[in-house]
């Protein structure tokens, strides 16, 4: 008869990357597993390669020599050359046959995402296990959005606990409550993104209303789940005093479940990844916040929660 660990280890999901020795995805030294696929569409997303829940081909323009070999072998007509001679991919037509990748000798096309099992992931996670004990670290599951693969995420968390590894779930909270409810007992800490407190603005910038996200956060808190609220601070989108104050008050309303708030300022070079992939980016590249402005934002949260950090 298969053991409990064997049953968990055989479950299959899609990941983009495993990052070792991470210091910013929860307490201590952590191994962060990035799942592919996201339930919402933030205009400022720093990881556009993680949006779709399947392996896919991306141009990697710095390596492209504009030879045209890739477009010549694309039977689906999904890959064309732009005016600059660089490849552009129509995701709606691409069949992921990988002919273009195989014919490219210069790394101008890359496959992002791979199918893997829980067991294969945990074998990598356990390589960092010696660092976890003294630092209070463990495994963090991020994305994309882990709730886009709820069964795989649950199996990862259960498998980690079977191995006595601390678990953190980095989530936007947009998913079915039934999935979150199953996770609560297997997640030691939730890193919970609050992107905007106004449901209409949230839908404008992230593609969905925030009502489910806030409701799920309340339910997790009521069930005793431990939460750190994470607020991505986006220039001209959610950085008004009114919205930040509403976010601080919401965090306080969740009571002792909220251990703190992490303010995550817009990364001034986030758009560089879009440039490499030949994608359009709707924000200025290189524009960020000065320290004084960030300290003013911190002051809004200090009266409402026990701890506030910049950058997590």
- pLDDT by residue (tens digit) across 139-189? 999 999 999 999 999 999 999 999 999 999 999 999 999 999 999 999 999
Whether 200 and 248 share a structural domain: yes
Q: In this structure, are 200 and 250 located in the same domain?
A: yes
Alpha helices in the chain (DSSP H): 4-9, 69-73, 99-103, 118-125, 129-135, 150-162, 177-183, 199-206, 211-222, 241-253, 271-277, 291-301
Peptide bond into 144 cis (omega under 30): yes
End-to-end CA distance of the chain: 44
| ∠ Cα 95 99 105 (to 5°) | 140
Same domain, 28 and 82: no
- Which residues have CB under 8 Å from 90's CB, separation 6+? 77, 78, 79, 80
What is the pLDDT at residue 183?
Answer: 98
| Position 235 in a domain | yes
Q: Tell me the C-alpha distance between 185 and 87, whole Å.
A: 46
Q: Model-level pTM greater than 0.85? A: yes
Cα-Cα-Cα-Cα torsion 125, 14, 205, 246, nearest 10 degrees, comes to -40
Task: Decide if 51 is inside a domain.
Answer: no
| pLDDT surpasses 80 at 232 | yes
Percent over 70 (pLDDT), the chain: 98
Question: Based on the domain organization, do 28 and 155 belong to the same domain?
Answer: yes
**Last residue of a domain, which of 95, 112, 129?**
112
Residues 195 and 156 in one domain: yes
Predicted confidence band of residue 287 (pLDDT cuts 50, 70, 90): low
Q: In terms of pLDDT, which residue wins out, 230 or 48?
A: 230
pLDDT (tens digit per residue) in 60-116: 999 999 999 999 999 999 999 999 999 999 988 999 899 999 999 999 999 999 999
**pLDDT score of 283:** 78
pLDDT of residue 37: 96
Residue 239 falls inside a structural domain: yes
90, 112, 134: which is the final residue of a domain?
112
CB 172 within 8 A of CB 39: yes
Let me know whether 152 and 108 are in one domain.
Answer: no
Instruction: Judge if 103 and 124 occupy the same domain.
Output: no
Last residue of one domain, picked from the residues 65, 83, 112 = 112
Reported as a pLDDT band with limits 50, 70 and 90, residue 1 is: very low
Same domain? For 122 and 93 the reply is: no
What CATH number has the domain bearing residue 91?
Answer: 3.30.70.20
- The length of the chain is 312
Q: Which domain holds residue 226?
A: 4-46+114-274+283-310
* Whether residue 8 is found in the same domain as residue 90: no
Q: Residue 162, by phi and psi: left (phi above 0), alpha (psi -120 to 50) or beta?
A: alpha
pLDDT of residue 279: 83
Q: Compute the distance between CA of residue 186 and CA of residue 310 in angstroms, rounded to an integer.
A: 27
Q: How many domains does the chain have?
A: 2
| Whether residues 214 and 238 fall in one domain | yes
Average pLDDT across the chain, whole number: 93
Say whether both 22 and 160 belong to one domain: yes
Cα–Cα distance, 181 to 311 (Å, whole number): 28
Average pLDDT over residues 201-210: 96
pLDDT for the residue numbered 275: 83
Query: Maximum distance among all alpha carbons in the chain?
Result: 61
């Amino acid at each position: 008869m298969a053991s409990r660990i064997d049953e968990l280890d055989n479950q299959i999901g899609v990941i983009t990357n495993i990052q070792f020795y991470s210091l910013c995805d929860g307490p201590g030294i952590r191994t962060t597993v990035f799942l592919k696929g996201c339930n919402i569409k933030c205009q400022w997303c720093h990881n556009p390669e993680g949006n779709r829940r399947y392996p896919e081909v991306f141009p990697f323009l710095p390596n492209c020599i504009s030879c045209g070999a890739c477009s010549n072998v694309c039977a689906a007509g999904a890959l064309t050359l732009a005016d600059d001679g660089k490849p552009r991919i129509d995701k709606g037509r691409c069949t992921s046959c990988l002919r273009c990748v195989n014919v490219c000798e210069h790394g101008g096309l890359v496959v992002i995402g791979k199918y893997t099992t829980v067991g294969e992931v945990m074998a990598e996670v356990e390589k960092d296990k010696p660092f976890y004990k003294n630092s209070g670290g463990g495994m963090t599951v991020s994305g994309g959005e882990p709730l886009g693969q709820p069964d795989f995420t649950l199996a990862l968390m259960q498998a980690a606990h079977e191995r006595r590894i601390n678990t953190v779930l980095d989530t936007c909270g947009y998913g079915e409550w039934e999935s979150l409810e199953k996770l609560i007992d297997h997640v030691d800490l939730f890193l919970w993104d609050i992107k905007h407190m106004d449901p209409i603005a949230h839908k404008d910038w992230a593609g969905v209303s925030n009502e489910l996200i806030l409701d799920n956060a309340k339910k997790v808190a009521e069930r005793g789940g431990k939460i750190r609220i994470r607020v991505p601070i986006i220039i001209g989108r959610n950085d008004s005093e009114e919205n930040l104050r509403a976010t601080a008050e919401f965090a306080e309303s969740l009571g002792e479940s909220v251990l703190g708030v992490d303010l995550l300022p817009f990364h001034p070079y986030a758009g560089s990844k879009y440039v490499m992939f030949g994608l359009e980016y709707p924000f200025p590249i290189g524009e960020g916040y000065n320290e004084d402005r960030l300290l003013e934002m911190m002051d809004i949260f200090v009266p409402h929660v026990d701890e506030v950090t910049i950058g997590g």
